[in-house]
Amino acid sequence: MRSVELFAGAGGMAIGVSRAGFQPVAVIERDPYACDTIRENQAAGLPPMAHWPLTQGDVRDVDYGALGRVDLVSGGPPCQPFSLGGKHRGRLDARDMFPEAVRAIRGLRPKAFIFENVRGLTRAAFRNYFEYVRLQLAFPHLVAKADEGWIDHLGRLERQATRGRGGDARYRVVARVLDAADHGVPQRRHRVFLVGFRADLDIEWSFPEATHGADALLRDKFRTGAYWERHRVARRHRPAPTAAERARLDKAADTRGPERPWRTVRDALAGLPDPERAPAAAARIANHGFNPGARAYAGHTGSPLDAPAKALKAGDHGVPGGENMLVRDDGSLRYFSVRESARLQAFPDEFRFHGSWSETMRQLGNAVPVTLAETVARGVMARLASHGAPSA
């Protein structure tokens, strides 16, 4: 099935979508460093991006009529307007690209779409705008009039939705905040996904259930010891459960949750030498150099080894001080290397990032975890394939 990737960044979403079986007919990104990252991996012949039709340019300049039939549109519109770490300007921010996402759906009429953004888009301050985005995606043909403000347009969309008509131009849209850790990514990364299917296809779909869980990780640590055995941590070095962890373990004994444990930082970094303490060995691994200067302060204390990492962040001007750090067993701190961060975002080890440390970390902080994108896209692909959905 044919797909179009918007706001591709370094390609996290696009890799996951491609692994799910979609074939991109356009991969669009304006940032030159992110495009150089994709081109470098294309030059190395790395699948699945080796033959991506990459366009370095602004999505506002794309003529969607030239792309032909498309089954899926996917992407992550820039998140800074809605990020908890940003300026919170929302729809007033020139970087808000949701209008362009809607234009793509209107122009291409794909069978389905997948869009991802920060959880901040769902908080109270943006709740009305989030509903505006959702309804525009549901009724992409209902365009704002020249003299119509967004609130008035929202009202017209609401009236359209409650009339219960819209025909095959309408999309059935669902949204959910997903934690990447619940789907096997070694990172607590909460992101909102908007998934829509063209209404004429009459497809029923729901987000995939969690496959990994916190309770299973506690069990492997403090009941069976399997976690410590896997990492060859001697008994004398294993921490005892806290009171809160004991209480959760007791409660979990009476409930059923995902059987697979959350993946931790220690899981993700297994096999990689410490770039500060073993620089010669680290130098033999791409993107695994040590970056000095890590320090902790209030709200920025780093990620412990034996839990999923805190969400990697990009920041407006590189990585914020104190973020994207590892806390070692002895309590010392250092920044994650680019390679380690790539593992936390589930990029393959063969994938190389182009640019300085701060630039590559910006690419990673903005990326969609590859396996999370793949999980959602596989769910969409399965429903389209089983339905035998007709082309537009």
Phi, psi for residue 5 in degrees, rounded to 5: -110, 120
pLDDT digits (tens, 9 = 90+) for 268-280: 999 999 999 999 9
Contact 9, 362 (CB under 8 A): no
Name the more confident of 264 and 97: 264
| pLDDT for res 78 | 82
pLDDT digits (tens, 9 = 90+) for 190-214: 999 999 999 999 999 999 999 999 9
* Residue 325 to residue 389: CA distance in whole angstroms: 45
| pLDDT for res 179 | 98
DSSP per-residue string spanning 204-245: ---PPPP-EEHHHHHHHHHTS-HHHHHTT--GGGSPPPPHHH
Q: Could you tell me which residues come within 8 angstroms of residue 248 by beta carbon, excluding any fewer than 6 positions away?
A: 214, 215, 218
For the ranges 91-105, 233-247, 257-271, which has the lowest average pLDDT?
Answer: 91-105
DSSP per-residue string spanning 44-94: TT-TTGGG--EEES-GGG--GGGS---SEEEE----TTT-TTS---GGGST
pLDDT digits (tens, 9 = 90+) for 237-252: 999 999 999 999 988 8
Percent of the chain with pLDDT over 90: 78
Contact 353, 44 (CB under 8 A): no
Tell me how crowded residue 118 is: count the other CB atoms within 10 A of its CB: 24
Closest to 327 (Cα-Cα) out of 265, 378, 245: 265
| pLDDT for res 73 | 98
| Strand ranges inside 126-268, DSSP E | 171-179, 187-188, 190-198, 212-213, 260-261
| pLDDT for res 164 | 65
* Residue 334 to residue 326: CA distance in whole angstroms: 6
This prediction's pTM: 0.91
| pLDDT for res 390 | 53
Q: For residue 15, give the 3-state DSSP assignment.
A: helix
| pLDDT for res 90 | 38
Closest to 121 (Cα-Cα) out of 99, 156, 75, 89: 89
Contact 18, 42 (CB under 8 A): no
List % helix, strand, coil for the chain (3-state, nearest 5).
40, 15, 45
Count Cβ atoms within 10 A of the Cβ of residue 63 and give its class: 0-12 exposed, 13-18 middle, 19 or more buried: exposed
Residue 202 φ/ψ region, left for φ over 0, alpha for ψ in the -120 to 50 degree band, beta for the rest:
left
| pLDDT range class, residue 315, cuts 50, 70, 90 | low
Tokens of residue 21, six digits: 């079986």
Rg value, the chain, Cα = 22
Average pLDDT on 305-330 reads: 79
Can you give the length of the chain in residues?
392
Tokens of residue 233, six digits: 């941590």
| pLDDT for res 283 | 97
| pLDDT range class, residue 134, cuts 50, 70, 90 | very high
| pLDDT for res 84 | 40
| pLDDT for res 50 | 96
Q: Could you tell me which residues come within 8 angstroms of residue 319 by beta carbon, excluding any fewer than 6 positions away?
A: 313, 335, 358, 361, 362, 365
* Residue 122 to residue 131: CA distance in whole angstroms: 9
Tell me how crowded residue 232 is: count the other CB atoms within 10 A of its CB: 6
pLDDT digits (tens, 9 = 90+) for 151-162: 999 999 999 998
* Residue 81 to residue 91: CA distance in whole angstroms: 7
| pLDDT range class, residue 96, cuts 50, 70, 90 | confident
Average pLDDT on 255-261 reads: 87
